[in-house]
Structure 1
Amino acid sequence: MSEKDQRIQTGKFGEDAACDYLIEADYKIVERNWRCRSGEIDIIADDAGRLVFIEVRTRKTGGRFGTAAESVDRRKQQQVRDTAQVYLRSIGCSAESIRFDVIAITMSRQMDSILEYKHYEGAF
């Protein structure tokens, strides 16, 4: 399997795990992998009437590029904000009650278990 295919598989695994967690925590999943010209939002969910835009980052343990949460830099935060604005316009909604969260997942090297799961509400 190529390195790109492995990254895609790791990301999908993390997003699936994040959705399971969110559903268990009484969030309603509104969209997954919503795309437009400005970017993609991994998960859009409803949390008791508040629209939540969630960036999911999954890393294998012992990676070279820092933690999953550290990878959501200012540039990525701005891209998610911009994409969220496009989404809100597309559904005719204002930005009154929204939140931006990050879910950071650390997997075992073998991808057979989640070692750490952190949900940062209102991350940016």
Structure 2
Amino acid sequence: MNTDPKDKRLRPLDGRKARGRLAEEAGARFLLGQGYVLLERNWRCRSGEIDIIAKKEGVIVIVEVRSRSLHSERYGTPAESITPRKIKQVRETAAVYLQWSRQLDEPIRFDVLAVRMEQNEVATIEHIVNAF
């Protein structure tokens, strides 16, 4: 096996990233089940990335997906892991998205999907509407 850390082809998949992708997928399915229309997933620009951009009842919803395994909650819940720096970054990235998509006059809100994982499976999803 190649041990070069720059060679991504042979490194084992980062468990944290895999759990994050699983949480985002579960979050997208959750929102679809609640009647949201998904506009974008993992939308990126220079200022950052937005996990999910959705729309419901004429409101653009910027969604940050946060996940934690149940055994790591001693460090806080998924929702508690959102720092002021992260909020600022998501807001700045949302402003770029609204400009890019020519939707500057649309109503917008910021939600959080707090996903709790247990043994690489989704245990619960908490939807925090208008989180920040």
Normalising by structure 1, we get a TM-score of: 0.91
Q: Does 1:32 align with 2:37?
A: no
Matched length: 121
Q: Which residue of 2 aligns with 1:79?
A: 89
Q: Which runs of 5+ in 2 are unaligned?
A: 1-10
Partners in 2 of 1:106 and 1:26 — Cα distance? Answer: 22
C-alpha displacement at 1:116, in angstroms?
Answer: 2.3
Q: Do 2:114 and 2:125's aligned partners in 1 also have CA atoms closer than 8 Å?
A: yes
Q: How far apart are the structure 1 equivalents of 2:125 and 2:101? A: 31
Q: Within 1, Cα distance between the matches of 2:106 and 2:36?
A: 19
Q: How much is the aligned-residue C-alpha RMSD, in angstroms? A: 1.5
- Whether 1:120 and 2:124 are equivalent positions in the alignment is no
Of residues 12, 18, 23, the one that matches 1:14 is 23
Find the aligned partners of 1:76 and 1:95 in 2 and give their Cα distance: 24
Against the structure 1 CA distance between its residues 34 and 82, is the aligned structure 2 distance closer, same or farther, given a 3 Å change threshold? Answer: same
In our comparison, the structure showing a higher alpha carbon Rg is 2
* Letter in structure 2 aligned against 1:38: S
Using the size of structure 2 for normalisation, the TM-score is 0.86
The alignment-based identity, stated in percent, is 46
Structure 1: tracts of 5 or more residues without a match: none
After TM superposition, what 4+ stretches of structure 1 lie above 6 angstroms from structure 2? none
